[in-house]
Chain A
Amino acid sequence: MVAGIRTVDLRKVFTSAPPVAAGTGGFSFGPPKAKGKQPKPEIVALDGISLDILPGEIFCLLGPNGAGKSTTVGVLTTRVRPTSGQAFIGEHDVWQTQVAVKRLIGVVAQRPNLDFSLTAREILTFHGAYFGLSSSERAKRAESLLERFKLTDRADQMVRGFSGGMMQRLSIARAMMHDPQVLFLDEPSAGLDPQTRLLLWEIVREYNHSGKTILLTTHNMEEADALCKRLAIIDHGRVIALGTPQELKASVPGGYLLRLRFGIHSSELLQRLQGLAGVREVRATDGNGADLYADRSGSLIAEVANLAANAGVELCDVHISEPSLENLFLHHTGRSLRE
């Protein structure tokens, strides 16, 4: 049975605990509390998220940090109790039938959470044991995953000394160890080098081809574009756009991005670039660069080169991006995904 994912009007409001220094938590010797009830600060993490992810789909939640992606994953994986709304994995209500749901899902958290008291191989085999796999099956699957994730040569070492990339690979291998029907990957490629990222993408596609549902969160548009059949762009706990990458990109007016790099930084030149016809926005970037958002691309290059020459600045590099999800996010929120 292949399971899909469904959420109905999910809301989550965090009431963060007052800091320890305020004299309320653990042992502290801070100033005495003020009399009367202090209102708890409320943070709305999810503000009515409704999603319907089909069985066998790779679905992506795209959004900046703090948009509510991880909270959505937390609710769907029994770790964050929603304030209201419902969440389903297949036919199972996540908060009514937690154990049945946990059997169906594999989770890769945003931060590595490997068991530091164990070796890489033991992490996989003990995980298999928690899910009731037989000893021979555990050993076989662990061996195959270690090989697939290129960890065989470090298999019997404690993971404490692993690099971030190795820990991430092992976390993903662990989530696949019990062959879950639904795989959650929360920012899986954060901190991975390009080569490992490609390996990860290949593995995710392969896993999906075996009929599994995958929910992936990212703030990397390239990743969303390369992997997902459909995606939802979320910001401030709300879905602001939903569809296939192609559909969403087509909905962006204008939307070309010219990434420019100059010999030296010149604020005056950037101001002049803003005045060119069709240019919507110019942003200075690190290393004497500028990102230029416009509704045309190739025809702008000659004009940019002319302006640079007139200002006595060398134009070193130009890169044109087609209409992208980044531009879509900018269009909807007025902010870049990277902010």
Chain B
Amino acid sequence: MNWKAFFAMLGRDAHVARRNFVALLFQTFLQPLMFVFIFGRVMVGSGYMPPSYKGQLLPGIMAICMVGTGIWAVAMPLIAEFQFTREIEDRLLAPMEISWLAIEKVVAGTLQALAAGFMVIPAAWLLLRPGVGLNITHPLLFAVVALLVALFSATGGLALGCSMQQTHIGLMFSLVVAPMIFFGCTYYPWSALEKFPILQKAVLVNPLVYASEGLRGTMVPQFSHLPLPAVLGGLVFFNVLLLAFGLSKFHGKSVT
């Protein structure tokens, strides 16, 4: 394995992310934080939502930010670079197995998703306080869940980025990302679906459910959430599945 080439490519992605930092910041945080402000502050303050909603909302918003960042960071460049601009060819010709280029993309996406996740906590906390009730009793477990969520966002980005045509980017967001967010237990806990038993079971095929519930279970464990073994199992399963699928698609795109 050629680690020099691997880290050079990681350096390239970090350099590009740094260059686009302000744009990325707005793209990632503006919409979720507005949501936090309206639902968590305005609606709770005016009595439309119970005060406990603040604590339910924060992990879901963190999951949205992480997953959005990871997918965007991996899928969008791949879609563009494999198609019209063919920019990726130079890196495919670097002296390294091409699978490692895909893995490098996943690592870069994971790091960006983690950065986004950890930036959302203080930002949302500032908007929501007081009464968030953040209670991270097992920091290590929280870190593992956050890492798996970030990894899921990047492997999802790899799978989507290697499966989509440039002309389908709009559809990717309206048919994949948006339903995933709305049915991903981000704005409400999984237990809130008890009155909709079929829906409650159906959403379990959505990996974002495990991400939101996992963060909920480790950040605000006082609220009901999916059991953590189920969360960890779900996240590991989807990570492996999406990575294998993404790598196979990546190979198909790299070599004709």
Q: Which residues of A are interface residues toward B (Cβ below 8 A)?
A: 14, 20, 25-27, 74, 77-81, 98-100, 102-103, 105, 107, 109, 111, 113-118, 122-123, 126-127, 129-132, 174
Contacts and interface: CB of A to CB of B under 8 A. Distances in A.
B93 A99 contact: no
A115 B256 CA distance: 21
Nearest to B84: A111
A99 B168 contact: no
Interface in B157-207: 163-165, 168, 171, 175
A133 B16 CA distance: 20
Nearest to A28: B168
Given A99-B2, A113-B86, A122 B15 contact: yes
Nearest to B254: A79
Contact of B256 (A74, A107, A123, A130): A74
A127 B90 contact: yes
B255 A99 contact: no
B24 to A, nearest CB: 13
A106 to B, nearest CB: 8
Count chain B CB atoms within 10 A of each CB in A20, A105, A132 and give the residue with the most.
A132
A174 B87 CA distance: 13
B44 to A, nearest CB: 38
B90 A118 contact: no
Nearest to A27: B171
Contacts of A117: 16, 19, 87
Contact of B86 (A27, A111, A131): A111
B95 interface: yes
B19 A130 contact: no
B138 interface: no
B94 interface: yes
B93 A26 contact: no
Interface in B1-18: 2, 4-5, 8-9, 11-12, 15-16
Interface of B: 2, 4-5, 8-9, 11-12, 15-16, 19, 85-97, 163-165, 168, 171, 175, 254-256
Contacts of B163: 26
B177 to A, nearest CB: 13
Nearest to B165: A26
A114 B88 CA distance: 8
Given A78-B93, A79-B256, A26 B164 contact: yes
Contacts of B4: 129, 132
Nearest to A81: B255
A129 to B, nearest CB: 4
Contact of A109 (B2, B89, B171): B89
A114 B168 contact: no
6 contacts: A26-B171, A27-B168, A78-B255, A131-B94, A132-B5, A132-B95
Count chain A CB atoms within 10 A of each CB in B86, B92, B93, B164 and give the residue with the most.
B93
Contacts of B16: 117-118
Nearest to B172: A27
A116 B91 CA distance: 13
Given A102-B93, A114-B87, A115-B90, A130 B8 contact: yes
A99 B95 contact: yes
A108 to B, nearest CB: 10
Contacts of A98: 97
Given A81-B256, A102-B94, A113 B2 contact: no
B90 A79 contact: no
B165 A20 contact: yes
Contacts of B255: 78-81
Contact of A116 (B85, B93, B94, B171): B85
A118 B89 contact: no
A74 B96 CA distance: 17
Contact of B12 (A77, A99, A118): A118
Contacts of B93: 77-79, 102, 105, 107
B130 to A, nearest CB: 42
